[in-house]
Amino acid sequence: MSGTIKHKGEAIAENTVVTFLGDDGVAATGMTDGTGHYTLKFDKSPKIPVGSYKLSFTPYNPGDSVSADPAQFFDKKTGKTLPPVVVKPKFDTKYTNPSTSGVTRDVNEGNNEINIDLPD
């Protein structure tokens, strides 16, 4: 299960989390590379259950990780704590939530390539 995500014809930013959320709670996720290409995984497997999915696209914030290096929030020169870097999407924030994105796709049996171009 893979494809390419674009925004107004341009490849979406590297390290954007792509989520396919099924009505039954099944979630498959992947991350874009520099060309907007993504590959989804479900429960550590590339096999995504057949069904209908709502999609979301969220910029990855490195400071969100529980395993983030605490040193990234510390300025060695001043001795002060730095605020985390928040990556804002270049596309409409409605796409960051599967309930508001309005983007849905069906996953069928076999190999699926799902390419998406976000209009706004």
Specify the CATH number for the domain of residue 69. 2.60.40
pLDDT value at 68 more than 80:
no
CB 17 within 8 A of CB 57: yes
- Mean residue pLDDT of the chain comes to 86
Give me the residue label for tokens 């989804």: 40
pLDDT at 105: 96
pTM: 0.77
Give the domain range for residue 83.
Answer: 2-118
Please state the rounded mean pLDDT for residues 51-76.
Answer: 75
Please report, rounded to a whole number, the percentage of residues in the chain having pLDDT higher than 70: 85
Total domains in the chain come to: 1
Phi first, then psi, for residue 20 (nearest 5°) are: -110, 120
Q: State the Cα angle at 89 between 83 and 90, rounded to 5°.
A: 125
What is the reported pLDDT for 84?
63
Q: Check residue 81 and report its DSSP letter.
A: B
Question: How do residues 82-120 score in pLDDT, each as one tens digit?
Answer: 776 666 678 898 999 999 999 999 999 998 999 999 988
